[in-house]
Structure formats: structure tokens, C-alpha cells
């Protein structure tokens, strides 16, 4: 009996190590078809282990077909098992580490420090204690029904939207809604119309599928929908309450024109209402959905109002799409986890969401004022703030400026993270003088200091050009 080098770490039992050793020798060709294995008694003695250990290893080899057993005959290696030695894969590289950015104006980050974490923990505990055991089995791909009901109530009291709980479909964030809807709405030969500029997520979702894109230019009234005339369109993606990133509100004239075209040209409108809860002057803008509930798919999310890692959003679906949605969600990932859905239903029912939003509206409004004041101090009339007084970001226009490589370099060196709007645009050159500032996650002090740092970057870049 040759010496056996048993592979595997100590965490693996002796039987398994023995099994692995034989398997390696069989696969490498060291032991080949018909070779006789030592009897369990012999091997146990040779290795100084119990016979049960060896029997268990042989049993594993036999179960998986590496060896053949015949009553009264020794175990033999099964036929046709040799693999050519495979190349070991190179050591995986470490994932890239985020760069240190003391002044981070990246968008889409709510302020999580003011979220009522202990109240939320209480909601989770309550949900865990009161849900039936059966609720933790597979549920409906539509979502946890009490949450659908609470979202319908909340949409009415927060935005005046009247929707039936039957039309509310829970998603894993707004991202998943678009991921499911884009292939669902695609019609061969037809384009998806997106605002230019717009969020890169929806662009990637359409482009990854290989579907054609049609760009709608954006001005102070939102997207110019007249570009849709005579076009073959699968769907129009729009942010009517707060255009991302330029901040305008889609005018009523364009809303009605868009709905009229959707009916006449037979396409759907994807209404992305990503942050209309945060409007600092006047009431929230009313969603387009009410104009044509059978043509408009309204998509909302709790990522900005509560926190992103909750992964709960929703789509308000016309009846014609519901059956297909249930099928597609079933084979995408079945459903959201039930616990957070139940906790969120209770958080809405007890008006915890409403109270949190009131607090945050005040807080973000203060931050926005700090940002405007810091910008005026730093840039005076040189920079114009665009868009409605709402949301967690602001777009700045520096007329005549062009933020190119020297500016990017200056920001990297100063630790300022900021995007030019050109990153979001189909024609980047049109937006080379526009910057995008996310400020929701920053304190007023960070905003002042960050804008001062930004001013230096702008000045440095101007000198370098």
C-alpha cells in the first residue's frame, strides 16, 4: 500500500479526506479502470484508522460511481474517469477599493443618520412575532398583500393618487421594476424613448437587451415629447415630477400631449417617481398616473425615503400587464423577503413613514438652503442652480464653462467626488458646463467645506486650460 497524502484541511472529516484522495488519484489517471482497491480491512490497518472510516469513504466513492462493488469481489475503479490535469485558476484579485473622498457629492444617497432605527427594529420584531409560520413559505410574486393595501392608502394621502391595492406590485427597488418592464413592453422594431439627459440605469437596462433608444431633449418644461411624433415606440421613460438630473417638472401641456400620443400610438409611459416626496415649496407634484391609469405605469421606491438596503419599491400596473408580470417575477426571483414587507406595512399603517418624511423634508430643505448659500459665496453669478426646489440633488449650470479632464484631475486630487451632467447625456458635449450635486447625505458643514473645495477645483482647472 503506497503512502497516502490526504488532501483537504482539518475541517473535513477523515472519511472525506480519504475519499478525496482516491478521487484525485482516479481522476488524474494514477488509478485507472479496473484497478483493485485495497480491502477496507487492509486499508484501515495500514492507515491506523477505524474500519468504519474507510467504509464511509468507499461508500462515497461507490455512491458517486468512482468505484464498482460486486458481492464477494474487491472494489475496482469504474471505467472512463480520467481527466486531463486542469490549470489552476490564478489567485482572484481583490475587489477594487473605493477611493477616499472627503467631499462626496454623488447622487442618490439619503441621510441615514436621522432614520428612526430603533422604531424600525421594533417594527421588524413585531413583524417577526406576529407573522404566521406559513408566511415564511413561498408567497405570491405580487407581494405581501397588507403592504399593497398600505401603499395604496399612502399614495392617496401623500400624493392624492387613487389606486386599488390590486394594482400595486411590490418590487426589489425601482431598479427591478424597470428590469422586468423593459422586456415586457418591448415590441420588435420599436424604440424606448428616454429623456436626454437621464439616469444611466434605465439606459443600461434597455441597451443591455439590445433594444433601440430614442432621445427626448429636456428643457425647463421637462422632456420635449414632440420628438415622439411619427416614431415607433415601445415605451417612454419619464421623470415628470422631478426630471433627473435637470430638476424640471413636466408641464401639463406636455403631459396631456404625451398621454394622447400613448393612446394613439399605442405605447406605455413609465413614470419614475424617485423622490417627489421631498418638495420644499408647495405640495408634492401630482403624478401623471391619474391622467391615464391604463397607459401609465407608476414606479416608486422606498430607497430614498427609508434606506436603500431595504430593497422595497413598487409598480402600479395596468390590468393588461399583471398576468405577464406575475409570470416574469416568478422566474426572476419569486418575491421579496416577507419580513421587511410586513414591517414596512406596519410602519406605513402607524404613520411612521409620514412622520419620518416630515422630519426629512425639513432637514433636506435646510441642507438645500446651505448649499445655495455656499454656492452663492463660492461662485456668485457664475453658476445657476436649475430645477424645482425638491429632491436630494441639484444641477448647476456654469455658462461658457467646459468641465473636462483637467477638472476631473483636480477633483481627484482634492478628494471631491462630483459628476458632470455630460455623463448622463446622449450628447455629452451639450452638458459639459453642467455639474450634478447630491447633497442629501451631507451635513451643512460638509456642504460648505465641499463647495469651497469645489471652487478651488474649478479655479485650478481654469488655470490648466
x/- binding map, residues 33-72, to a second copy, per CB under 8 A? -----------------------x--xx--xxxx------
The residue count for binding a second copy (CB under 8 A) is: 114
Residue 276 CB, shortest distance to a second copy, in Å, is: 12
Question: Please, which residue, 160 or 428, has the CB nearer to a second copy?
Answer: 160
Query: Torsion angle of alpha carbons 240, 244, 245, 247, nearest 10°?
Result: 30
12 touches a second copy by CB under 8 A: yes
Residue 250 CB, shortest distance to a second copy, in Å, is: 8
Residue 307 CB, shortest distance to a second copy, in Å, is: 4
Question: Please, which residue, 113 or 429, has the CB nearer to a second copy?
Answer: 113
Residue 287 Ramachandran class (φ > 0 left, ψ -120 to 50 alpha, else beta): beta
x/- binding map, residues 247-286, to a second copy, per CB under 8 A? --xxxxxxxxx-xx--x------------------xx-xx
Determine the straight-line distance between the first and last CA of the chain, rounded to whole angstroms: 78
109 touches a second copy by CB under 8 A: yes
Query: d(Cα 454, Cα 379) in Å, to the nearest integer?
Result: 10
100 touches a second copy by CB under 8 A: no
Question: Please, which residue, 281 or 463, has the CB nearer to a second copy?
Answer: 281
Question: Please, which residue, 38 or 318, has the CB nearer to a second copy?
Answer: 318
Residue 249 CB, shortest distance to a second copy, in Å, is: 6
428 touches a second copy by CB under 8 A: no
Question: Please, which residue, 29 or 399, has the CB nearer to a second copy?
Answer: 29
A 10 A CB-CB count for 366 gives: 12
Residue from 89, 229, 230, 445 touching a second copy (CB under 8 A): that is 89
Q: Which of 237, 250, 312, 242 is nearest to 284 (CA)?
A: 242
310 touches a second copy by CB under 8 A: yes
Question: Please, which residue, 23 or 368, has the CB nearer to a second copy?
Answer: 23
Phi first, then psi, for residue 102 (nearest 5°) are -65, -30
Q: Which stretch binds a second copy (CB under 8 A): 6-14, 348-356, 367-375, 412-420?
A: 6-14
Residue from 11, 100, 445, 463 touching a second copy (CB under 8 A): that is 11
30 touches a second copy by CB under 8 A: no
Q: Which stretch binds a second copy (CB under 8 A): 36-44, 113-121, 230-238, 345-353?
A: 113-121
292 touches a second copy by CB under 8 A: yes
Residue 89 CB, shortest distance to a second copy, in Å, is: 5
Residue from 171, 198, 234, 420 touching a second copy (CB under 8 A): that is 171
CB 32 within 8 A of CB 77: yes
385 touches a second copy by CB under 8 A: no
Query: d(Cα 389, Cα 392) in Å, to the nearest integer?
Result: 10
Residue 136 CB, shortest distance to a second copy, in Å, is: 4
Residue 27 CB, shortest distance to a second copy, in Å, is: 7
- Rg, the chain, Cα only: 30
366 touches a second copy by CB under 8 A: no
Contacts of 26 (CB under 8 A, 6+ apart): 32, 66, 77, 81, 82
The grid coordinates of residue 221 equal: 418644461
160 touches a second copy by CB under 8 A: yes
162 touches a second copy by CB under 8 A: yes
Please list the residues that pair with 313 across neighbouring strands: 171, 301
Q: Which of 165, 201, 235, 148 is nearest to 308 (CA)?
A: 201
Question: Please, which residue, 276 or 401, has the CB nearer to a second copy?
Answer: 276
Question: Please, which residue, 1 or 11, has the CB nearer to a second copy?
Answer: 11
CB 418 within 8 A of CB 105: yes
The grid coordinates of residue 118 equal: 430603533
Question: Please, which residue, 142 or 356, has the CB nearer to a second copy?
Answer: 142
Site for a second copy in 180-209 (CB under 8 A): 201, 204-205, 208
6 touches a second copy by CB under 8 A: no
14 touches a second copy by CB under 8 A: no
Residue from 86, 100, 429, 463 touching a second copy (CB under 8 A): that is 86
Amino acid at each position: 500500500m503506497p503512502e497516502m497524502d490526504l488532501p483537504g484541511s482539518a475541517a473535513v472529516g477523515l472519511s472525506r479526506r480519504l475519499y478525496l484522495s482516491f478521487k484525485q488519484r482516479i481522476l488524474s489517471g494514477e488509478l485507472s479502470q479496473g484497478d483493485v482497491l485495497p480491502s477496507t480491512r487492509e486499508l484501515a490497518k495500514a492507515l491506523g484508522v477505524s474500519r468504519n472510516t474507510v467504509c464511509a469513504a468507499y461508500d462515497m466513492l461507490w455512491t458517486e460511481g468512482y468505484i464498482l462493488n460486486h458481492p464477494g469481489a474487491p472494489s475496482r475503479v469504474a471505467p472512463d474517469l480520467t481527466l486531463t490535469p486542469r490549470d489552476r485558476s490564478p489567485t482572484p484579485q481583490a475587489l477594487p477599493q473605493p477611493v477616499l473622498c472627503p467631499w462626496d457629492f454623488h447622487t442618490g444617497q439619503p441621510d441615514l443618520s436621522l432614520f428612526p432605527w430603533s422604531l424600525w427594529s421594533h417594527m421588524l420584531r413585531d413583524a417577526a412575532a406576529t407573522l404566521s409560520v406559513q408566511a415564511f413559505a413561498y408567497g405570491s410574486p405580487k407581494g405581501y398583500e397588507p403592504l399593497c393595501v398600505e401603499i395604496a392608502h399612502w399614495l392617496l394621502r401623500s400624493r392624492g393618487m387613487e389606486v386599488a391595492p390590486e394594482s400595486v406590485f411590490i418590487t426589489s427597488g425601482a431598479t427591478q421594476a424597470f428590469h422586468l418592464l423593459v422586456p415586457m413592453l418591448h415590441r420588435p422594431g420599436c424604440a424606448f424613448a428616454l429623456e436626454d439627459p437621464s439616469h444611466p440605469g434605465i439606459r443600461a437596462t434597455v441597451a443591455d437587451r439590445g433594444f433601440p433608444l430614442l432621445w427626448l431633449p429636456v428643457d425647463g418644461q421637462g422632456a420635449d415629447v414632440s420628438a415622439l411624433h411619427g416614431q415607433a415606440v415601445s415605451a417612454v421613460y419619464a421623470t415628470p415630477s422631478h426630471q433627473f438630473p435637470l430638476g424640471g417638472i413636466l408641464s401639463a401641456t406636455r403631459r396631456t400631449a404625451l398621454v394622447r400620443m400613448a393612446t394613439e400610438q399605442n405605447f406605455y409611459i413609465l413614470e419614475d417617481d424617485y423622490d417627489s416626496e421631498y418638495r420644499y415649496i408647495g405640495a408634492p407634484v401630482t403624478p401623471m398616473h391619474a391622467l391615464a391609469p391604463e397607459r401609465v405605469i407608476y414606479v416608486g421606491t422606498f430607497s430614498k425615503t427609508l434606506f436603500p438596503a431595504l430593497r422595497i419599491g413598487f409598480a402600479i400596473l395596468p390590468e393588461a400587464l399583471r398576468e405577464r408580470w406575475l409570470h416574469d417575477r416568478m422566474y426572476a426571483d419569486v418575491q421579496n423577503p416577507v419580513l421587511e414587507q410586513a414591517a414596512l406595512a406596519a410602519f406605513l399603517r402607524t404613520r411612521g413613514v409620514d412622520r419620518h418624511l416630515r422630519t426629512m423634508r425639513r432637514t433636506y430643505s435646510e441642507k438645500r438652503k446651505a448649499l445655495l448659500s455656499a454656492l452663492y459665496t463660492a461662485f456668485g453669478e457664475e453658476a445657476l442652480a436649475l430645477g424645482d426646489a425638491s429632491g436630494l440633488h441639484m444641477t448647476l449650470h456654469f455658462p461658457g464653462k467646459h468641465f473636462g479632464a483637467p477638472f476631473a484631475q483636480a477633483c481627484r486630487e482634492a478628494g471631491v467626488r462630483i459628476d458632470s451632467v455630460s455623463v448622463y447625456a446622449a450628447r455629452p458635449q451639450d452638458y459639459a458646463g453642467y455639474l450634478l450635486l447630491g447633497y442629501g447625505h451631507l451635513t451643512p458643514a460638509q456642504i460648505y467645506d465641499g463647495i469651497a473645495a469645489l471652487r478651488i477645483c474649478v479655479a485650478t482647472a481654469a488655470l490648466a486650460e
